Amino acid sequence: MVSTIAARRLLSKGRVLEYPLVSLEDGRIRHIEGLSAAEHKRVAATHRFPDATLVPAYIDIHIHGCAGHDVMEASSEALDTIGAYLASRGVGAYFPTTVTSPKDETLRSLAGLAYEIGRRQETSLHGATPLGIHLEGPFLSHLKRGVHTDALLEAPSIPLFDRFWQAAEGHIRLMTIAPELPGATELISHATALGVRCSLGHSDALVCEAEAGFVAGARSATHTYNAMRAIDHREPGLAAFVLDKQSLFAEIICDGIHVDPLMVRLYFKAKDEDRIILVTDGMSATGMPDGTYMLGDMQVEVRDGRCTSNGVLAGSVLTLDRGVKNLMEFTGTALGTAVAAASHNPSQLMGISNSWGSLEAGRAANITVVSPTADVIETFLAGHSTIASERSVTSSTR
């Protein structure tokens, strides 16, 4: 059965198409055409959004949970709820992100996440799709650990990583690692050879140590500025390296809490636009009222949008659609650039650009519909509207 979506414009990979009509069939984009304003008014479309823009569904590569659930639960209920909530915020795919935990707990979570990822590849489920696992910890700096439990951090170890890899059934796709730690460059090379994207973060690295991580294969940086050696004009560290290394992708938490808007502007001016990646670092409190929540096995207090554990920032309650709006507000950039930072750019880093991050005929119909102010109106995943799941998850998280 063929259905159609008509909108004011379509943005994809730098292309702007006015008055688009998108035909969908069997969950895929069958055809995209641009109409005249007069044709657009007359055409009979299944879904009509006269003032809205169609953009690729967003991809969050760094998220610990939302809607009252943590990805470390690794259960069907948790991931179903997380997926439904993310879809309501314009997200079509995500990489559930672990937090440093006891090894047995990490192994259990990785095995559970692997099962859930496999389940979603075999069944048609509505909601954002977990495409792979982001391993954040335990190979982090004691000096820049953030809220990760100090006693649970581990020296980079290929045998330990291989245990994680086997438990995850090869579904680890991204790993945060501090490049200055003994054994880090060897582990980066090993993981890169397996297809894992390595990201420099939670690190006190000097520029030479960051460069060594890059040479070993790292291609991204985890939440730029946060949990990094600060910029110093005589002894520049990882944050300065991230801004200077044009070929390096770089996450940023654009909530105005983790990074001051001025520093977001500096980041935006320094990085090539195709290397900017918006992430949330969201935790279970996202979409929930203020209170006490869990991040892994840590208690986190949430007040007025700020998440802290023992006074240290602990994730966020940012949503990716809000991050898109904030990037536009903080930097003055256009919608297309901000959308690319939440869709096309992460798809490039993660090697999934053949199926995510752009809107083209033949691809899965993963489409986010946004208003002129970048608010999410509706999300289509594999051609299905997620309006029903949005209403369900909104009522369950009030």
The catalytic site residues sit at 281
Beta bridge partners of 381: 384
Biggest CA–CA distance in the chain, Å, is 66
Per-position DSSP letters for 114-154, written without gaps between them: HHHHHHHHHS--SSPEE-SEEEE-SS--STT-TTS-GGG--
31, 386 Cβ separation under 8 angstroms: no
41, 375 Cβ separation under 8 angstroms: no
Copy the structure tokens of residue 339.
């959308």
Per-position DSSP letters for 270-323, written without gaps between them: HS-GGGEEEE--B-TTTTS-SEEEEETTEEEEEETTEEEETTEE--B---HHHH
Report the alpha-carbon distance of residue 61 to residue 220 in Å, rounded.
Answer: 11
| Nearest alpha carbon to residue 49 among 342, 375, 286, 320 | 375
353, 344 Cβ separation under 8 angstroms: yes
Report the alpha-carbon distance of residue 6 to residue 33 in Å, rounded.
Answer: 10
